Amino acid sequence: MLIRLRTLTVTTALCATSLLAAPHAFAEVEPGGWQSVSPTYTVQERGCGQVDGLTFRLTCSTASGVQRAERRYATYTGGTRQFEGHFRITSLSGTRISLKQTFNDSAPGPYFMLAVERGGRLYAVHGGSTLSNAGTVGATVRVNTVHQVGVEHRTYINGSLKHTYASPGGSFYDKFGAYRTNSGSGQATVEWSNIRFWRK
């Protein structure tokens, strides 16, 4: 009964807010002073990696060497950054392919790496925790990362918070595409869409 009352209170308060406020849509998540930005990027193709617009392919099953097809965005220092993108894996005969990285340019090294195993498990490479099983072939998955430099890095999969990670200060940059992790192998094709960035 108490739970129901609490639920009702929360719902009523927020519904009232929604009804009184003019219709609006937040383009970004965690609203509050976000400014849309368009960081520059370079395309990185290494080994059997191929980039065609927002389609990223690893065309070989090699389990060694650097196999990379990614966009590398401009370095940022300080503040809070948000990335949003949708990916769809259209083929994956390999496994343990990195899809999105937040790279620590000060350390340097990948600070956060979201990867997929064959079968659809999305996981954090550092620590290995499972974020979701939504990364199956053919499924479109939305990713938001919110990075408060020097505080915390949060990852949302399909709108739900799935991973938090303490962040050091320093310089970072975003990467996404397809990249063979140390324990991974190709082949893989990943299509990204609706890429957006914000800062505050």
Partner 1 sequence: MRGKARIAASAALILALPACSAGAGDPDRPLRGVLTTPTDIDLHWRDERPGIAGHVLEFATEETGPYTVLRYLAPQVTSYRHPDLLPHTTFSYRLRSYRGPTVRPLRTDLADGLRFTWTDRSSDEDGFLLEIRKKNGNRYDPVAVLAPNTEATEFVPLPDERHATYRVRAFALGEQSNVVRLTTGEQARASRRG
Note whether 200 binds partner 1 by CB under 8 A: no
As a whole number of angstroms, the distance between CA 2 and CA 105 comes to: 50
From candidates 2, 22, 25, 40, binder to partner 1 by CB under 8 A: 25
Provide the mask over 114-133, with x wherever binding to partner 1 is found by CB under 8 A and - wherever it is not. ----xxx--------x----
**Is residue 155 within 8 Å of 114, Cβ to Cβ?**
yes
SS3 for 2?
helix
Q: Select from 45-53, 140-148, 172-180, 181-189 the region that touches partner 1 (CB under 8 A).
A: 140-148
Least distance in angstroms from the C-beta of 155 to partner 1: 10
Query: Which parts of 75-94 interact with partner 1 (CB under 8 A)?
Result: 86, 93
Note whether 141 binds partner 1 by CB under 8 A: yes
As a whole number of angstroms, the distance between CA 149 and CA 146 comes to: 9
Nearer to partner 1, 77 or 91 (CB): 91
Burial class of residue 104, CB neighbours in 10 A (0-12, 13-18, 19+): middle
SS3 for 27?
coil
Q: Select from 5-13, 104-112, 172-180, 181-189 the region that touches partner 1 (CB under 8 A).
A: 5-13
Note whether 38 binds partner 1 by CB under 8 A: no
Q: Select from 15-23, 37-45, 174-182, 183-191 the region that touches partner 1 (CB under 8 A).
A: 15-23
Query: Which parts of 155-194 interact with partner 1 (CB under 8 A)?
Result: 156, 158-165, 193-194
Nearer to partner 1, 31 or 169 (CB): 31
Which residue from 126, 25, 36 is spatially nearest to 83, judged by alpha carbons?
36
Output the CA angle 169-172-175, nearest 5 degrees.
Answer: 150
From candidates 35, 36, 77, 140, binder to partner 1 by CB under 8 A: 140
Q: Pseudo-torsion of CA 181, 119, 187, 51, nearest 10°?
A: -80
> Could you please report the per-residue DSSP string of 123-156?
EETTT--EEES---TT-EEEEEEEEETTTEEEEE
Tell me which residues touch partner 1 (CB under 8 A): 7, 10-12, 14-19, 23-27, 29-32, 86, 93, 118-120, 129, 136-142, 144, 154, 156, 158-165, 193-194
